[in-house]
Structure 1
Amino acid sequence: MPDPRFFESLPALDVAALAQRIGAEVLRGGDRKVSAVAPLGSAGSGDVAFMGDRKFVQALKDTAAGCVIVPAAAADHAPADASVLVSPTPQASWAEASMLLHRSIPLTAITSAEAAEDDSVVIEPGVVLGQGVRIGRGSRIGANTVIASGVQIGRDCVIGSNVTVGFALIGDRVKLYAGVRIGEAGFGAAGGRTGPIDVPQLGRVIIQDNVTVGANTCIDRGAYDDTVIGENTKIDNLVMIAHNCVIGRNCLIAAHTGISGSVVVGDGVIFGGKAGIGDHLKIGAGARVAGGAGLLADIPPGETWSGYPAKPIRQFLRETVWVSKQAAKKRDDKE
């Protein structure tokens, strides 16, 4: 279930009514009531899940979801006790179901006194605070910053000017510099009946203690699970961290780095400037990604990778030297 501090649940629907509204066909179980959406692995009896790729057939067989949305070819793999909806575009249908069952809580402004733990909290001019916001002792919120409904901010934090924070839980002694965007919707789209539709992002951002986030950096909330930034990690200006990423403790991320969705980063990893990281990768503890590298494969712990596509740095340097020698030899032959 999405965090009720950030999302409100809309009235439950029976499966038949849901199918009609999302353009799916009821195969069985149209009278079941459903009240939420969830992934296959964590769905319960009142949840709607989907399977859009054959690699998740086993997850479909094992799911406890009350209702599943599947392509026709996968219907036989659905659990016998689940309601089954058939759709040519299961993910898009699930996204439409998400919008019928969940909605983000709108921003209703409250006073500084309602949000602050005590008088040591400093709220500068132009700050907007949403319903349910809590700000810990000794924290400072910069001018014209917006803290959306339900956000929790720890003690002794420094939030710069023109920052937006939503769908987030923030630890103690965190610094967010000017223009930071925390908790915006991650980039998720699915092909639907009339073209691509946005997939609702129902997760959160968790920022642990002593994290620093540089100016104009964006950290997206999870699609359903959380985006997590581990304690004492330091992030430079103009960094992009996409939905569902889990960044370990004591990491260093230099400017213009882009980390795609669902990347898992171990403790103590260093990213050079302008590194680009492909989605669903795992980077082991203590690894290093050189500046400008384009990473398309997992990195084992402790290794340094460079180049595009990135590879172990010794291999990259050997290949670079070989290419340079071959080019020089061709020039000499022409002369």
Structure 2
Amino acid sequence: MTPDPRFYDALGPVSLAELARLTGAELSAPEAGERQVLGVAILSRAGPDAVTFLTNARLLPELAAARPGACFVSAGEAAGLPDGCVGLVTGQPQAAYAQAAERLHRPRRVGEGGTPAAVEEGAVLAPGVVLGAGARVGRGTLIGANAVIGPGVAIGRDCVIGANVTLGFALVGDRVRIHAGAAVGEPGFGAAAGAGGLVDMPQLGRVILQDGVTLGANSCVDRGAFEDTVIGENSKIDNLVHIAHNVRVGRNCAMAAFTGISGSVVIGDGVQFGGKAGVADHVVIGDGAIVAADAAVMRDIPAGEKWGGSPARPFRQWMRETAWLTREAGRRKGTQA
């Protein structure tokens, strides 16, 4: 899988020798310096034309299964590379991968040339709307004043896009409502330590908003780092919610204001979040679960369960513990008096 060409320009091919010079890496097989790669890819998606990175020896079996053309790797793990995979040996594999991504892929920006935008009959664009090259707007869609629709973005029919929305790197279904000031498709948060300090990790994925989604005012939905960020059909997101990169939200979910979902969380269908709930990265929340307001979810929640507290645990357990603490606090206060 390569980054979607509607949103990213491919700048390859690039030789491994050039990548080594760019990143300060050393080739494990110098004779392979003229071998070329077309792009970067995460480990699970890497193929013979891609360069990836490895920071944990436990992932060597996954690397062997993927068989990428090249891999940024530390000296201690270079010996474990599979046949046919050329090592780019460096002390900062992740940061080197980020540099390679900038050399091989470039996000398309508003104002650049390309295929003209296409607007179906019956769509309405308010004053100040900006459409990037190749953007598509469906019949009956209303786009509010000063909204910016990035290159390649596809918006379905009968949608409402509010004033001052920024919408990029995204595919939007029918009957979607995005309220004023929302930011969809901005880079997700990720950084790696490099020789000169922290460097931003590449964010080469997309955002997919399925039919009937509502996204509240001033909310943020980050595009994926390489996979997509997906919000499922008919899910309703309140104002001031943040959904990070690679998150997958199921159908008919509801999130109240100030909810924050960290990267790579998987949320089932029909899940509900109270206001100011927070979820740690890579957590899985099962179908029909309920997360109470102000909960801090640090581990997986089984389907159908209700959790609350910080850290979050099953709701009845949390209530019993809270009641016990209240009684104990009152008892101690009475003793001291």
* TM-score, structure 1 as length reference: 0.97
- The residue number in structure 2 matching 1:80 is 83
- The residue number in structure 1 matching 2:219 is 217
- Tell me whether 1:21 sits opposite 2:22 in the alignment: yes
Structure 1: gaps of 5 or more residues: none
Amino acid at match of 2:34: D
Deviation at 1:54, TM superposition (A): 3.1
State the alpha-carbon separation in 2 of the partners of residues 31 and 79 from structure 1: 19
Q: How many pairs does the alignment contain? A: 333
Structure 2: gaps of 5 or more residues: none
- The residue number in structure 2 matching 1:174 is 176
State the alpha-carbon separation in 1 of the partners of residues 246 and 327 from structure 2: 43
State the alpha-carbon separation in 2 of the partners of residues 328 and 11 from structure 1: 68
Deviation at 1:243, TM superposition (A): 0.3
Deviation at 1:267, TM superposition (A): 0.2
- The residue number in structure 2 matching 1:229 is 231
Deviation at 1:115, TM superposition (A): 2.1
The range that moved more, 34-43 or 235-244, is 34-43
State the alpha-carbon separation in 1 of the partners of residues 252 and 226 from structure 2: 25
- The residue number in structure 2 matching 1:238 is 240
How far does the alpha carbon of each residue in 1:283-334 deviate from its partner, in whole angstroms, 9 at most, with x for none? Answer: 0000011000011010000001100000001110111111111111111222
State the alpha-carbon separation in 2 of the partners of residues 241 and 95 from structure 1: 23
The one of 175, 200, 203 equivalent to 1:201 is 203
The one of 238, 257, 260 equivalent to 2:259 is 257
State the alpha-carbon separation in 2 of the partners of residues 182 and 41 from structure 1: 25
Identity level (%): 53
- Tell me whether 1:63 sits opposite 2:66 in the alignment: yes
Deviation at 1:109, TM superposition (A): 6.9
* TM-score, structure 2 as length reference: 0.96
- The residue number in structure 2 matching 1:141 is 143
Give the SS at the match of 1:41: helix
Amino acid at match of 2:95: A
Contact 2:12 2:37 in 1 (8 A): no
The one of 155, 159, 164 equivalent to 2:157 is 155
The one of 275, 278, 289 equivalent to 1:276 is 278
- The residue number in structure 2 matching 1:321 is 323
How far does the alpha carbon of each residue in 1:247-281 deviate from its partner, in whole angstroms, 9 at most, with x for none? Answer: 00000000000000000000000000000110010
State the alpha-carbon separation in 2 of the partners of residues 329 and 236 from structure 1: 41
The range that moved more, 28-37 or 257-266, is 28-37
Contact 1:109 1:128 in 2 (8 A): no
Give the ranges of 4+ consecutive aligned residues of structure 1 lying more than 3 Å apart after TM superposition.
none
Could you say what the CA RMSD is over the residues aligned between the two structures, in angstroms? 1.3
